């Protein structure tokens, strides 16, 4: 059964839609319960991105995400949050074939996670899918520009909007996503001026990643933002912490303590009141 979106006090997709042109919308990805708990007081929207396949599961691309993976992480993020609008990505292979396939997958995601909305990649080519899911009463977030699910087809992570034809195509994609009823659209990996133009062009909020400060909101992958990414950090990422060093340092100190028997110390073991062995 599709949930009644008015039944809780979370930020809803419709609230996000109304934020067009206002205070920038703060979005981050989240994949786990503890991270959702930490982020929830600070953000408007948590995206359970299919980047989870790369970030947490070590796949080379987001094509490693499955519907079951997205649902399991969506459930964890819903358990860990009470305020944010939670959006779950539709993984590659779950929606492109037909509107009926897209509706079935979107229904499953919403029914099994209770999330507020789903996100899918594509513009003009996915218009029918967006329309069909919206007609089911499930809010949809679009995703245009660089589409990670298409990187193999595109021959890599290529910035969009460098040619006149490509800018025209992006404008058509943004129009299609808006016309079919999406409440917001992610614009990824696009020339700054083009992202600003797209933002002025549509009446729904644009959420930028590698796009422009003129977008209506911003999103980053949480592991990139906190300095946990162990491979290449993309140019558009600003690292607000260095958890790589924090974790490596903690692991090195723990290893030294175990090897020298400094851990566990008196505070970390259970003793009888007398301190004598009463077993
Ligand atoms: O999967 C993801 O993390 C995303 C964001 C990069 C927008 O789609």
Catalytic residue among 121, 152, 188, 278: 188
Across the chain, what does the average pLDDT equal? Answer: 95
Ligand 1 pocket list (CB less than 6 A)? 29, 47, 49-51, 89, 143, 186, 188, 209, 219, 221
Indicate if the pLDDT at residue 168 is higher than 70.
yes
Question: Quick check: 2 pLDDT over 70?
Answer: no
What is the per-residue pLDDT across 142-153, written as a single tens digit (0 to 9) for each?
999 999 999 998
Domain 13-242: CATH superfamily is Phosphoenolpyruvate-binding domains (3.20.20.60)
Specify the pLDDT at position 71: 98
Please state the rounded mean pLDDT for residues 266-279. 82
Q: In this predicted model, what pLDDT tens digit does every residue of 86-116 receive, in sequence order?
A: 999 999 999 999 999 999 999 999 999 999 9
| Predicted pLDDT at 1 | 41
Q: In sequence order, what DSSP letters do the residues of the chain get, joined into one string?
A: ----GGGSSS--HHHHHTTTTSSPEEEEE--SHHHHHHHTTT-SEEEE-TTHHHHTT--SSGGG--HHHHHHHHHHHHHT-SSSEEEEEPPTTSSSS-HHHHHHHHHHHHHHH--SEEE--BSGGGHHHHHHHHHTT--EEEEEES-GGGHHHHTS---B--SHHHHHHHHHHHHHHHHTT-SEEEEESB-HHHHHHHHHH-SSPEEEESS-TTSSEEEE-HHHHTT---SPPPTT---S--HHHHHHHHHHHHHHHHHTT-SS-GGGS---TT-S---
Give pLDDT, residue 279. Answer: 62
Mean pLDDT of 25-36: 98
> Predicted confidence band at 138 (pLDDT cuts at 50, 70, 90)?
very high
Q: For the chain, what are the domain ranges?
A: 13-242
* pTM for the predicted model, two decimal places: 0.95
d(CA 169, CA 130) in angstroms, rounded, equals 18
pLDDT over threshold 70, residue 6: no
Q: Which ligand 1 atom is at minimum distance from the Cα of 29?
A: 3
Cα–Cα distance for residue pair 264/126, rounded to 1 Å = 56
pLDDT, residue 222, reads 98
- Model confidence pLDDT, tens digit, residues 192-246: 999 999 999 999 999 999 999 999 999 999 999 999 998 889 999 999 999 999 9
């Amino acid at each position: 059964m599709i949930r009644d979106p008015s039944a809780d006090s979370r930020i809803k997709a419709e609230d996000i839609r109304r934020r067009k042109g206002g205070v920038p919308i703060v979005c981050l990805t989240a994949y786990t319960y503890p991270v959702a708990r930490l982020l929830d007081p600070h953000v408007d929207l948590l995206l359970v991105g299919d980047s989870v396949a790369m970030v947490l599961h070590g796949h080379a691309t987001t094509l490693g995400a499955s519907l079951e993976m997205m649902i399991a992480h969506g459930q964890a993020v819903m358990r860990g949050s009470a305020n944010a609008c939670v959006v779950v990505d539709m993984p590659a292979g779950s929606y492109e074939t037909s509107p009926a396939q897209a509706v079935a997958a979107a229904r499953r995601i919403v029914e099994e996670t209770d999330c507020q909305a789903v996100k899918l990649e594509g513009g003009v080519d996915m218009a029918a899918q967006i329309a069909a899911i919206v007609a089911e009463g499930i809010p949809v977030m679009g995703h245009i520009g660089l589409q990670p699910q298409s990187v193999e087809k595109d021959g890599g992570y290529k910035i969009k909007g460098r040619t006149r034809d490509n800018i025209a195509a992006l404008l058509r994609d943004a129009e299609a996503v808006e016309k079919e009823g999406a409440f917001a659209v992610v614009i990824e990996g696009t020339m700054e001026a083009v992202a600003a133009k797209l933002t002025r062009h549509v009446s729904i909020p644009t959420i930028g990643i590698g796009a422009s400060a003129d977008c209506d909101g911003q999103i980053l992958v949480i592991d990139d933002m906190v300095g946990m990414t162990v491979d290449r950090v993309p140019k558009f990422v600003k690292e607000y912490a260095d958890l790589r060093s924090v974790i490596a340092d903690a692991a090195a100190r723990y290893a030294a303590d175990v090897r020298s028997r400094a851990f566990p110390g008196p505070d970390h073991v259970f003793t009888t009141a007398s301190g004598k062995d009463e077993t």
